[in-house]
Amino acid sequence: MFSKERNFLKWNLSGFGDSPAILFENLDSTHSLMKAKAAAGEIAPGTLIVADMQTSGRGRHERSWASPAGLNLYFNILIPLDGIPLGKSPQITQVAALTFAEVFRDLQQGANAQGRGNQDIGKVTVKWPNDILCGKSKFCGILAELVYIKSSALGAAPTPAISMGVGINVNSDPADYANLGRPITTLKEIAGHEINREKLLQALVASLERAIGQFRAFGISPWIEAWRKMDQFIGARGTIVVNNRCTDENRDGGTGVQKKSGRILDMNEDGSLRFECDDGTVETVYSADLEI
């Protein structure tokens, strides 16, 4: 992971099941391109799209995601849903977050063992539902959307799949994100050394493909237990944004923003969050932002 990185366009990558990887030096958004190609039937399930730079990178609820060239990872993978009920497909983002977090934890522990790592930054963990943090600083975001791949066969129904977009702050510096007004870190800060992005992406795709196979067979239960062991927020105070319209611009107020403060109790067996509000009511939260 700490070896010298070669030219981006020479990276040796593939998607799931040796599906192709398509690399772009500059792209507006890997997520937008994947959606368009799926709708047009121009791309197969398992395909990986990677950009060295994005001009219009976005996270959840259309929040901007800084995407400078040559520093970080920005990619989308088209995850096939064979054998996965559509109702369970939202859980794939949680499976991905926990799977990626294990890769990052191994990287952090390896860096610490070599005397490179930042010992004071905290541990890699997953904040419900799928933000990956170190301590309380975010460095990886996941955006997933159900898409339908147009069939080439006349009259055949489109095939559902998950277009999963991932942005990871790898070799940038935390100071680059000071304008966002919230804690941000990078893998370089966590590991104390620059990371080979090609090797990291190879490890992430391989781990995710294995995890999706396990999810297909066993459901989300194994990852619920992994989250409980990894998470540092159970029992801590937090705030849920219940309307799912919290953007960069209205994060602290504005029309439609509704927030409830309280205590994080647990993750339920279906991946939802158990949250005790300050008025004593306990809510089951299926889709919201969690602020800590």
Burial 126-144 (b: 16+ CB within 10 A, else e): bbbbbbbbbbebbbbbbbb
- Do 213 and 263 lie in one domain? The reply is no
- Do 163 and 39 lie in one domain? The reply is yes
**Which of 178, 195, 229 is at the close of a domain?**
229
Asked if the structure places residue 2 within a domain, the reply is: no
Q: Domain range for residue 243?
A: 233-291
- Do 254 and 281 lie in one domain? The reply is yes
The domain total for the chain is 2
- Do 213 and 106 lie in one domain? The reply is yes
Q: Which of helix, strand or coil describes residue 175?
A: helix
- Do 77 and 151 lie in one domain? The reply is yes
Note whether 266 and 274 are within 8 A (CB). yes
Local confidence pLDDT in tens for the 292 residues of the chain: 888 899 999 999 999 998 999 999 999 889 999 999 999 999 999 999 999 998 865 544 445 555 678 899 999 999 999 999 999 999 999 999 999 999 999 999 888 888 888 888 889 999 998 899 999 899 999 999 999 999 888 778 899 999 999 999 999 988 888 777 778 999 999 999 999 999 999 999 999 999 999 999 999 999 998 888 887 788 999 999 865 454 545 545 555 567 899 999 999 999 999 999 999 999 999 888 888 8
Q: What is the CATH number of the domain that holds 60?
A: 3.30.930.10
- Do 224 and 126 lie in one domain? The reply is yes
- Do 82 and 225 lie in one domain? The reply is yes
Q: Mention every residue, 6+ apart, whose C-beta is less than 8 A from residue 261.
A: 237, 238, 239, 277, 278
Asked if the structure places residue 71 within a domain, the reply is: yes
- Do 61 and 164 lie in one domain? The reply is yes
